[in-house]
Structures are given as structure tokens and as C-alpha cells.
């Protein structure tokens, strides 16, 4: 049964979300703030973490950054702060998706299911037993193990979120094919394109470059085709 953690200082919102997701067959744990959320994550594995941004103590962005030191589980931000800058900050701190308050119940459930589904694939398709001759892509010191869904740079493992991995896999298995921001967003997030999604894509591209590129300002792997999109060289 997939495990979900909800961190929000509003007990009514936590209760509503818990009821909605429990009805979908998920096990839901509550945390009243960022500190309590981190305590839960240190002792239990989760398939999805839902974070409010405006919480007492460490806020959602600070909590997200701390989580990324110990977990790659997808993080869905909930917030009434809905400007593009707010979303960019959320993605920059390590979030995978962003849902505006007030949200519709079907949209919350849909986002949760999509993030959990991707994460289950990312973790190794139920941990297949020692797959022989794992399929790999090796490109100038970068190795992508497509069976175990792991990434190595110069022999050292690179920790990616499941969203970052899915984006890298899409690029690497379609080398030199140009992907527009819209095409990337619709393929990775499985959502219809909207204007602000361009910033979402840009932030994730930047995060990938920071983790993979020797010099993120002069990338050798993920390059920009100006006016067209991005491609993996």
C-alpha cells in the first residue's frame, strides 16, 4: 500500500486530504509542521510527501531542501501563493509538482496518483531480482542504468529525483532530438500545457545541469536549441 505524508499546520486541511487519499487506498500519515515531517521521514519511507509552504518553524521550502538530503520521494507543494516566482522557488528547493489552494479534489487525487506511479517505476519496478546484463547508456562518462534506474557520473552515483530521472531518460533515449518546453512538460508531468509550465521546465533543466554538468553554464550533455527547446548531445 503506497504511503503518503501530509505536512500542513491546518488540521482541517490535513483531515480533508487524509480522507480523500485514504478512500483511494493510500495509507496517510499526518505532520503538523516541517519539523514533525522530517522526524517521520527519518523513520519511515514514503511514496509521496505533500507539503504546505506557509508553516511555522521551517517553511515548506526549507523542509523540502532538508528532505532532499534523505529522500527522493516525490514532493507535492500546496500553497495559496501562486505567482510564477513562488512556483520556481518551490521547484528550485526540490519539489516535483505544485498545486494551488484552493484545489479541486479530483485534481489533488490525479496529481498524487501520477507522482506515485512515476516514483514506483523510478524505484525499480518492484525491485526485480538481479536483472542480468542490465541495459545501460554510456555517454562521455555519464552512465544511465535503464533497468535499475540509476545514474552515474564518472563512476559516482548521482542522486536525482524521479522527475529529474524521467527527464534525463527521455533526453538520453532520444539523443539530439529537440524537445520543446511544452513537449517536455506534457511528457513528464502528464498534464496539459499552460503558460507558467515553461518556468517549471526551465527550473528542472537547471537542476539537472547543476548535478550533471562540469560547468552548468556551458553544458556538454543537455543543450539549449535557442528558440526551439532542449536536446541531449
Assign a CATH topology to domain 136-232: Arc Repressor Mutant, subunit A (1.10.10)
Q: Do domains 3-122 and 136-232 have the same CATH topology?
A: no
The pLDDT of residue 127 is 45
Domain ranges within the chain, ordered by starting residue: 3-122, 136-232
Q: What is the CATH number of domain 3-122?
A: 3.40.50.2300
Q: Return all residues near 173 (Cβ < 8 A) that are at least 6 apart.
A: 137, 146
pLDDT of 124: 55
Q: Which residues is 223 bridged to in the sheet?
A: 231
Q: Cβ-count burial of 63 within 10 angstroms (0-12 exposed, 13-18 middle, 19+ buried)?
A: buried
Question: DSSP of 47-115, one letter per residue?
Answer: SEEEEESS-SSS-HHHHHHHHTTT----EEEEES--SHHHHHHHHHTT-SEEEESS--HHHHHHHHHHH
Whole-number pLDDT of residue 123: 65
Residue pair 19/60 in contact (Cβ under 8 Å)? The answer is: no
CB-CB contact of 48 with 112 (8 Å): yes
Is 147:163 a contact under the CB 8 Å cutoff? no
Q: Name residue 156's beta-bridge partners.
A: 153
Q: What is the mean pLDDT of each run of 10 residues along the chain (233 residues)?
A: 94 94 94 94 94 90 91 90 76 86 88 86 52 70 87 90 89 91 88 80 90 91 92 90
Amino acid at each position: 500500500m503506497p504511503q503518503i505524508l501530509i505536512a500542513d499546520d491546518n488540521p482541517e486541511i490535513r483531515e480533508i486530504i487524509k480522507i480523500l487519499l485514504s478512500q483511494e487506498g493510500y495509507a496517510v500519515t499526518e505532520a503538523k509542521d516541517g519539523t514533525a515531517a522530517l522526524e517521520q521521514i527519518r523513520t519511515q519511507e514514503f511514496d509521496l510527501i505533500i507539503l504546505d509552504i506557509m508553516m511555522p518553524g521551517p517553511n515548506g521550502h526549507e523542509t523540502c531542501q532538508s528532505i532532499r538530503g534523505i529522500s527522493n520521494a516525490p514532493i507535492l507543494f500546496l500553497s495559496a501563493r501562486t505567482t510564477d516566482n513562488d512556483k520556481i522557488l518551490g521547484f528550485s528547493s526540490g519539489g516535483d509538482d505544485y498545486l494551488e489552494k484552493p484545489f479541486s479534489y479530483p485534481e489533488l487525487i490525479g496529481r498524487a496518483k501520477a507522482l506515485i506511479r512515476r516514483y514506483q517505476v523510478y524505484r525499480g519496478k518492484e525491485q526485480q531480482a538481479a536483472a542480468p546484463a542490465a541495459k545501460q547508456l554510456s555517454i562521455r562518462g555519464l552512465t544511465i542504468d535503464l533497468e535499475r534506474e540509476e545514474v552515474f557520473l564518472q563512476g559516482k552515483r548521482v542522486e536525482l529525483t524521479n522527475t529529474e530521472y524521467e527527464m534525463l531518460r527521455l533526453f538520453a533515449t532520444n539523443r539530439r532530438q529537440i524537445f520543446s518546453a511544452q513537449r517536455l512538460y506534457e511528457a513528464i508531468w502528464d498534464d496539459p500545457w499552460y503558460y507558467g509550465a515553461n518556468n517549471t521546465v526551465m527550473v528542472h533543466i537547471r537542476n539537472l545541469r547543476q548535478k550533471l554538468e562540469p560547468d552548468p553554464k556551458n553544458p556538454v550533455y543537455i543543450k539549449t536549441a535557442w528558440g526551439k527547446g532542449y536536446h541531449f548531445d
